[in-house]
Structure 1
């Protein structure tokens, strides 16, 4: 990490020499290997690695940001000059600025969070074996005609953040993933589905056989899919897609949308936005979880917080700029890329589960739609109007009757979220840990 620290701090020093009032910089060392197999043989192998750097400068209330894969001394000096020139041509934003030194996190690494596996990088032959095993398992499911793809991958990313306010810290993160996409039927009757899992530690992954079989079983269950009837029905969002509903709520309480007045929840602070009994928690400090982080992209200490408590909206998700604009404090939620300014984002979301399993909710809904996948979206962030393409299963008399494809579901997020009934089946290890959710009275457009 010393090399990354030196690069980030050198960028900040160069920016100050070039005339920046304030500056922050990132240096990232990333490497990734991905293996795809098909028909029992290697289909594609990809490998990427490299060190990239990014710099943001602030000059008189203006900002500029640049990035580069060239990190020689001359390139760093040129980057700083270019960033300062860009900032001087940018519009003034009085809310911009780094954190005050007393606001900074005392923690400068991820010790205790277990974000990086201390083990040798898996070689391509091992990844290929994992992918082949997932493919073979999917093909072993009766009714599977082919496996479109099976993949195994590994990535490692180390990051260092430095700023002119004195912050300097960094940490690494690893990721292991296995996935498979299976197909059943032919021609117009062809259906596909998938399964995939990712973990920081390889030992936490399901086996390739479990992933392949799940992909096959999900695909076979979709054989013979047809359109559902049109009308107003309850809709059960399976745990595979239910996090998207909570994602829309998170977007609506994001400080960027609130500061612009472009959120359907902009007047609802302190109001009920979820049913009583539901709490939405963010905890960036969960060990071994995919989006955990010890500090945010502005060097502030992350912490657990409740976004919604017992259905009541507690606050917005804020970085420093949006917090200043709204007269509030940052929630240490800043995220950023190498060549972008910080903006608010979330880490490790958890929604209160219910006390019944999915089957109980299916029996309760009686007649309606279970959604297991979605495509396309028309979401109005200002009004909350919601429309998406969907596929899944039709329910009659409290039981799954047939698979469904080619339909559209619509409603308004405000009403949808207030009617939620949660199951107890949230999948672990997710950035958004959300169970299956039953929504009353949505519109289904099918046959």
Structure 2
């Protein structure tokens, strides 16, 4: 029988008060997940997990501590609260911690409008296994594919409830369904692999396993017999598959936690031009059927759409309450937390302005350069934005793909790179980061 998560969080708060806490917030998460892996046409692994996790943060003046557990008996909750209070007494003071004022709290929200949970029945293990088998079979049917590294299907569903002594109480449910496939071609030093996958809130939105397996195979074959271009400065096109990683570095730099520590290459850039004037970066935590949507944040504040960057100009940091107080600002309702941790800032659904050109248009425009389709490692100086990453993809000559590339390093400075980007029009609108292919001029490529 499902737990009454609201009652569970209230019991935690009662235990915290009885243990001597000045204030507290509590989180309860009940969930189940199922994953199936297939290899060689046979079931390789099946995993299922389910349970309820609880977390409690207590505050004693300006000291705090967080505890979590999976046992929700009354005696256990009492012991958890007593331990948390004892830990808080030994914690250092932090002048910026504290719950939201009651007037800041979310009061009304429409969870149904966000479509965070698919009410269709949980798929049976046999259904997930069939999806994984179909993806594997489709990949192996492509001539040249030697084996499948992994073909997987999964499902998860969970309910979340948050409550605090400031009067907030609210919760919602989420679901997620996915299929993925990794294909291998060649052997020894000539072996290459690539993948494809899809993950959605609603099962009916998933691409077919056949499509996923076939595309994984095609991508793998496209990577065969890679070469390394000559070292030099060239334009680089970040394929839509990995372009969001470039914007991810920007999001890390405008996190209130990084800015408050002074560990951000954009720490003094508020009001400055950080993207081309034609581009904006928006956040919409209310986008339906997105895994990053939510009616309120982890501190009970109402989430709202906002412009992070407008016409190239940086307009705001990503803030929770504590980091907003450090910076003398208001929270942007971007607090995230797990049952076992306190809140910290996190971006929700991010969308970068799409351009008017296709990916092929940008290829023709770049002339000679590199299309990056995968990356490994990252060396990024958080204070200067100096950037270096291993990459693989395709070399472009005369505006057309010439040969696959691997084992190269691309380097530049993120501040300069982001101010020069040109966006394509190929972003997938259902992702939590809707970012199209991005062309960046003048990066250093270390090859032969």
Q: Distance in 2 between matches of 1:398 and 1:120?
A: 49
Q: Distance in 1 between matches of 2:81 and 2:169?
A: 18
Secondary structure of 1:240's counterpart equals helix
Query: How much has 1:109 moved relative to structure 2?
Result: 6.2
Residue aligning to 2:410: 409
Residue aligning to 2:240: 239
Q: Distance in 2 between matches of 1:41 and 1:121?
A: 22
Secondary structure of 2:14's counterpart equals helix
Residue aligning to 1:45: 46
Q: Distance in 2 between matches of 1:45 and 1:107?
A: 40
Residue aligning to 2:228: 227
| TM alignment of 1:21-36, pairs within 5 A | 21-36=22-37
What count of residue pairs does the alignment treat as equivalent?
447
Compute the TM-score of the two structures, normalised by the length of structure 2: 0.99
CA contact (8 A) 2:3 2:30 kept: no
- Runs of 4+ aligned residues of structure 1 deviating over 6 Å after TM superposition are none
Q: Distance in 1 between matches of 2:86 and 2:386?
A: 42
Q: Distance in 2 between matches of 1:223 and 1:288?
A: 37
CA contact (8 A) 1:37 1:44 kept: yes
Alignment pair present for 1:340 and 2:341: yes
Query: How much has 1:108 moved relative to structure 2?
Result: 5.7
| TM alignment of 1:153-168, pairs within 5 A | 153-168=154-169
CA contact (8 A) 2:301 2:333 kept: yes
Alignment pair present for 1:320 and 2:344: no
Residue aligning to 1:376: 377
* Cα displacement string for residues 132-174 of structure 1 (whole angstroms, at most 9, x for unaligned residues): 0000111111211111110000000110001000001000100
Q: Distance in 2 between matches of 1:281 and 1:219?
A: 34
Please say which of residues 96-105 and 224-233 is displaced more in the overlay: 224-233
Residue aligning to 2:57: 56
CA contact (8 A) 1:117 1:174 kept: yes
* Cα displacement string for residues 15-56 of structure 1 (whole angstroms, at most 9, x for unaligned residues): 111111110010000110000001111011111101010000
Gaps of 5+ in 1: none
| TM alignment of 1:11-160, pairs within 5 A | 11-107=12-108, 110-160=111-161
Q: Distance in 1 between matches of 2:103 and 2:343?
A: 19
Secondary structure of 2:162's counterpart equals strand
* Cα displacement string for residues 66-114 of structure 1 (whole angstroms, at most 9, x for unaligned residues): 1001110010000001111111111111111000111000136622111
Query: How much has 1:325 moved relative to structure 2?
Result: 1.1
Q: Distance in 2 between matches of 1:125 and 1:298?
A: 40
Please tell me the root mean square deviation across aligned C-alpha atoms, in Å. Answer: 0.9
Query: How much has 1:2 moved relative to structure 2?
Result: 6.0
CA contact (8 A) 2:55 2:69 kept: yes
Query: How much has 1:277 moved relative to structure 2?
Result: 1.0
Q: Distance in 2 between matches of 1:446 and 1:118?
A: 51
Residue aligning to 2:268: 267
Q: Distance in 1 between matches of 2:350 and 2:193?
A: 29
* Cα displacement string for residues 414-439 of structure 1 (whole angstroms, at most 9, x for unaligned residues): 00000100000001211100000000
Residue aligning to 1:211: 212
From the superposition, tell whether residues 298 and 30 of structure 1 become closer, same or farther in structure 2 (CA, over 3 Å).
same
Q: Distance in 2 between matches of 1:263 and 1:214?
A: 38
Secondary structure of 1:301's counterpart equals coil
Q: Distance in 1 between matches of 2:368 and 2:112?
A: 50
Q: Distance in 2 between matches of 1:88 and 1:208?
A: 54
Q: Distance in 1 between matches of 2:52 and 2:240?
A: 37
CA contact (8 A) 1:108 1:170 kept: no
| TM alignment of 1:410-425, pairs within 5 A | 410-425=411-426
